[in-house]
Amino acid sequence: MTIHFSPLPTTRVRALQNGDKDVYGNLPERRISDGDGNSCRHCLKNIPEGEPFIIVAYRPFETLQAYAETGPIFLCANPCTPAPETPALPETLDEPDYIVRGYDSDERIVYGTGAVTPTPDIPAAAQRLYETIDRVAFVHVRSSRNNCYQCRIDKG
């Protein structure tokens, strides 16, 4: 079995880049990157200093339910190319560690799967979740300091 890091869906990202409202009904907030920690969840690259970006509330779940966490994310303000689905760590994962957590097909947390994981160990941790817990349908990578959604890891 293989895993790959998945960016946000291009259709949704383009709508937000074109001024569509976020999950709270707010218009995207426009900012200029200071080059420090502004990572786009679509191209999975750090937004260079001086470049525009948007901040939106995002819920990376299809259903609205108790486990459907919503939080702020950054996106390039201008259209960007989606990151390729690859097993390699995305450029944006440049902190020392992240939360890696599994979810089931009903988009509920699979208890016991969440762990603060050193960044180089993320691919192996996701692979282990998929191989040892049948209920894990997808995996999120989230900030270990602020719990912000970074990206999803899928199998196949």
Selection from 19, 130, 13 nearest residue 73 by Cα = 13
Name the percent of the chain lying above pLDDT 70: 100
With contact defined as beta carbons under 8 Å apart, do 96 and 122 qualify?
A: no
pLDDT for 36 equals 84
- What is the amino acid identity at position 40? C
pLDDT band at residue 37 under the 50/70/90 scheme: confident
DSSP 127: H
The residues spanned by each domain of the chain are 8-76, 97-155
Cβ atoms of 19 and 29 closer than 8 Å: no
The answer as to CATH 3.30.1740 being correct for domain 8-76 is yes
pLDDT score recorded for residue 156: 85
Which tens digit of pLDDT belongs to each residue from 67-101?
999 999 999 999 999 999 999 999 999 999 999 99
- If one counts every other C-beta atom within 10 angstroms of the C-beta of residue 88, the result is 10
Element (H, E) at 31: strand 29-32
How many helices (H) and strands (E) would you count in the chain?
2, 8
